[in-house]
């Protein structure tokens, strides 16, 4: 394989990665807990976009339960976000992107 062909493939892969990263910024995932009482929304880069908490689960005498619900919803949303990011990076790099998702 000649160097020119390798460079063109690398440039194409770089453009695909940039496009995938752009798409990930626009993608959101949602995690829920407490039967939907707590919702966390995360973008495709793993940034928390919003958190919604139903008044029904706000109990000043049991703050730990609310903390657990928020944490659970965040973990679910972040996992979904990471899965989508890994899938997009894998697609953008032609299967060579396994380690790239963690770079975002």
pLDDT tens figures, 15-56:
888 888 888 888 999 999 999 999 999 998 889 999 999 999
Q: What pLDDT score does 63 carry? A: 95
- Of the pLDDT bands very low, low, confident and very high (cuts 50, 70, 90), residue 57 is very high
Domains delineated in the chain: 3-98 (3.30.1310.10)
Q: How far is 86 from 96, CA to CA, in rounded Å? A: 11
> Which has more confidence, 53 or 95?
53
Q: How far apart are CA 59 and CA 75, in angstroms?
A: 22
What pLDDT band is residue 4 in, cutting at 50, 70 and 90? Answer: confident
pTM of the predicted model as reported, rounded to 2 decimal places: 0.75
Q: What is the pLDDT of residue 102?
A: 45
**Which one, of 71, 72, 66, lies nearest residue 53 by Cα?**
66
Task: Name the average pLDDT for the chain.
Answer: 87
């Amino acid at each position: 394989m000649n160097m020119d062909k390798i460079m063109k493939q690398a440039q194409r892969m770089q453009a695909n990665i940039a496009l995938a990263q752009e798409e990930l910024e626009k993608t959101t995932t949602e995690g829920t807990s407490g039967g939907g009482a707590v919702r966390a929304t995360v973008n495709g880069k793993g940034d928390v976009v919003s958190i919604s908490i139903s008044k029904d689960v706000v109990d000043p005498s049991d703050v730990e339960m609310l903390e657990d619900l928020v944490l659970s919803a965040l973990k679910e949303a972040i996992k979904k976000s990471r899965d989508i990011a890994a899938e997009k990076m894998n697609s953008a790099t032609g299967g060579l992107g396994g380690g790239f998702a963690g770079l975002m």
